[in-house]
Amino acid sequence: MITAELQTGDSGEGEKTLDSDFCTVTIPKGLKYNVYSYYHDEDALGTIQIDFGKKYTIEGRLEVSTTRMISSLDDAVEECIRVRNLNTYKEGKSEIGEEVTYGDTTYKEVKLSHENGAETCLVSYYKRADGKDIYVEIRAKETALDKLTIDDPLVQKLAESAVYK
């Protein structure tokens, strides 16, 4: 297994462990990945976006951010829905599911549907000692081209491997 510092533009196929200031995550064998964006500053504010997929690297995304103003798992769920409603999903619908635990992290499932298809997100919240709390979102698209689901074993392995810090 290869461990590397997370860098914008890094891409490849798993198994590979990526390390950053906010999390460490292992991309499992069978998933392609592209580090779409990684930004952080000296105030511990930043965002990581890693696209992943079986066929294409845009079938799903892991987002880890300290720039969202949330303070609980319920806030994370509301933030996930709020962001969709600000963008192109104005006519979309959302359904909040049950809590699930992968590794040491409890996520809540949020199903979203809109004019362009559907996506399911696992969202979480991680409380940091410095007060720069983390918003986590793992999403999978369900459109005509993208059939990766959130309950796919590879997506579950990715969620289980993530350690937030």
Task: Pull the structure tokens for residue 119.
Answer: 């996506």
pTM of the model: 0.90
Structure tokens at 12: 């490849």
Q: What is the β-pairing status of strands 16-19 and 2-5?
A: parallel
Query: Phi/psi of residue 75, each to 5°?
Result: -60, -40
> Using DSSP, how many helices (H) and how many strands (E) does the chain show?
2, 12
Closest Cα to residue 135, out of 3, 22, 5, 20?
Answer: 22
Q: What is the pLDDT of residues 96-122, one digit of tens each?
A: 999 999 999 999 999 988 776 788 999
The two structure tokens encoding residue 156:
């579950």
